[in-house]
Amino acid sequence: MVVLHALSDFIDCDFANGDSSCSYWYEGRCPQSGDCLKLPRTSMSEAITHGLMQYLANNDCYSREGKMYGILLVELPNGEQRVLKAFSGLLNGCSVVEGWVPPIPGRDEVAFEEARTLAELDAIKQEIITLKQLTERQQYEILFNDFEQQLQAMSDRHRYCKHQRQEKRQQICNTLSPEALTIALEQLDEESRQQGIERRQLKRQQNAVLQPLQQLITATDTRISELKRQRKALSCELQAKMHASYSLTNFSGRSQSLQELMPGGSPTGTGDCCAPKLLHYAATHNLKPLAMAEFWWGVSSVNQDKIPGKFYGACAERCQPLMGFLLSGLKPPLPAREKGVRSPFPDRGRVWGEVTLPIIYEDEWLIAVNKPAGLLSVPGRYRDRQDSVLSRLRHLLPDSMELLSVHRLDQETSGILLLARDRQTHRQLSQQFQQRQVHKVYEAILSGVLTVEQGKIDLPLWGDPENRPDQKVDWHYGKPSLTHFQVIAIEGDYTRVEFTPLTGRTHQLRVHAADAQGLGIIILGDHLYGCRAATSRLHLHARELRFEHPQLEKTLHLQVNTPF
């Protein structure tokens, strides 16, 4: 089976000798030496991946299910470069597909068990689908709504009659004789009782009709829950058997099972991801890895947060814990170099690997950088989200462990980010942000034509608990959020606009632009809030920042060019 591919299958020959800058590191510590081992995702590996994406786009079979794909650029013993490609899990139900890296050894040993379990799981899935489509569910909803409408109409009529009776009681108390009044009041009370009987009869009728349906639906839901428990148990049992039989080999020639590598247990799918499959194949075929890249392709109801065509790093639960072992045997990379780059201030650019992080202002109290899109402001919670402006600067600058981020920009937003070099400066600058004394200007491109020249958006924002990290307009719980906007230019089907936020809520500009109560036009490239355009980035840039320097007691007005 042909697995090694020529570079020309994905990119033209001119690019092969071009830019090799790094945008991400696959990394882990060697279990024996403790050395930090790294493998880059370079611009060249990304270009190869884009070539693979074009191939996937031209073949419908790859869009039927969403999954992670990856490539590994390798060097043969004779110095020639080739490409390996892999998919996570199964591809259209198959583990071995011509032209793709095969699964890690061990799957064959449990192939029969896997086939039997997968058949059981499919049967469970089909039963769950059938149960969820129970016709009595729709019937119950229709009848329930019908009874509710009847009860509401009856309540309205009874309320009107009660009001009429009250008025009549007031009238007859002053006009009828005592005997006639007694009879009239009894008639009114009887009318009230009859209406109460009428309501109770309708409720009894409702219960008689709906209760059997509700019992059937409850029994069905109980069965669905039981099937889901069976499905989980079967999956875990199969996964345990596979992990005991899976054997990974690293570049030192050492082999271990997944069970040995992760004795505390591992999530479903560990060992089936692209990175382990690619690195294991390279290690067992005397291929030197040069660069790797992974991306998501296709649509999946399970991973709705994944964006087709976007690059992703090693997943924190399945791949990252294996990286140190898999990369063992490779030489540790040279430490990151410092060199001058083009920036508004000469010799103030810093380099992380080969990725530039321009410093636009620096003194003994604070530092301001022009953050590129795609880079976190501060490290995240998990291992695959440690690369950030803060961690890079702490790595590169002398005596920078006290460095603190004063504010944050979204990962996909570029522009000016301010950091303090001591706690006192951090506290003073943070206070200016909190008291809205900092003037911020953003530039964005909207994915449509805005007909209003300027104005303000005053919509309260609240974190959506069902879809984190999304924010939404919420008039009950939302925090006050105010943005001024000014159209800069209409550019074809798009609008270039300037935003001046007076508050600093999470995703404020993105929601104020996208929400129908705001501008009603999504920022170009904002896939989180519904933009479907094929763009390489979010078109939102923090262009200006004006504030009072806490120590120098002067106004600093920082500005950078918009990169789009």
Residue numbers annotated as active site: 410
Tokens of 444: 């964005």
Choose among 264, 278, 248: nearest CA to 317: 264
Q: 139: left (phi > 0), else alpha (psi -120 to 50), else beta?
A: alpha
CA pair distance 259, 246, nearest whole angstrom:
8
Which spans in 246-266 are helix H?
A: 258-261
Helices (H) and strands (E) in the chain, counts: 11, 21
Cβ neighbours around 440 below 10 Å, total: 21
Q: Which amino acid is at 401?
A: M
Alpha-carbon distance 496 to 486, whole Å? 9
Kindly give the interhelix angle for 178-245 and 135-173, rounded to the nearest 10 degrees. 160
User: Tell me, what amino acid is at 63?
Assistant: S
Phi, psi of 186 (to 5 degrees): -65, -35
Half-sphere exposure of 310 (CA within 13 A, CB side): 20
Q: What are phi and psi of 329, to 5 degrees?
A: 105, -20
Q: Which amino acid is at 275?
A: A
Beta bridge partners of 491: 494
**Other CB atoms within 10 A of residue 285 CB:** 13
